[in-house]
Amino acid sequence: MSKNFSWLNEPAAFSGDARELKLVTSEKTDFWQDTFYRFQRDNGHAYLTPVTGDFTASVTVSGDYQELYDQAGLMLRIDQRHWIKTGIEYTDGLMHFSAVVTNGASDWSVIPLHNSSKDDEVSVRVTRHDDAVRVQFSINGAPWQLARLAPFSSADASVGLMACSPERGGFEAVFRNLDVGPAIARNLHD
């Protein structure tokens, strides 16, 4: 698989590469399509590489989560109306593990992380098997936890890190050890 990463909506400031990348978001950035809020945004920041077939992508992320909807994690993207973003999202005064699957319109699911802080290291993993995508997370090296199993096209796509700050600019995120490689085993319950 390709390891040629490029920016979709380059951020205001960034440094590093897939091993360790730091970025600062631009003003009012997001990926969203219609549902509930009735708007479309496609100006979030994503550092992506092409993928075909089955794969697993993972990254460890931390951020200075302060404002509503500050978010950082992984994105799998076919085009503006077909993508998945997943990772940490700050809402209701708390970090949540979030997944948005967009097939024309966006949905949103969250898992509150009541005992977590922005000092915790959260790892995010996305695996595509045929026309299904598995989303998992791990906090501070704990076993991987399933967050979402969703239908999604097996078309050629791009995958990599993403960060947004829909309510502000200046959200700082750090990504470590971004890896894209062969798909992990299909076992859901080890």
> What is the tens place of the pLDDT at every residue in 123-136?
999 999 999 999 99
The type of residue at 161 is L
Q: Which residues contact 129 (CB under 8 A, 6 or more apart)?
A: 54, 183, 186
Percentage of residues in the chain having pLDDT higher than 70:
98
Paired residues of 47 in beta bridges: 7, 161
| Count of CA atoms in the C-beta half-sphere (13 A) of 24 | 5
d(CA 86, CA 147): 9
| Per-domain residue ranges of the chain | 6-181
d(CA 115, CA 17): 30
Provide the pLDDT for residue 1. Answer: 45
Span 62-76, mean pLDDT?
97
Class of domain 6-181: mainly beta
Provide the pLDDT for residue 190. Answer: 63
The DSSP code for 184 is: P
Answer yes or no: is pLDDT of 39 > 80: no
Q: 38: pLDDT confidence band, cut at 50, 70 and 90?
A: confident
Provide the pLDDT for residue 147. Answer: 97
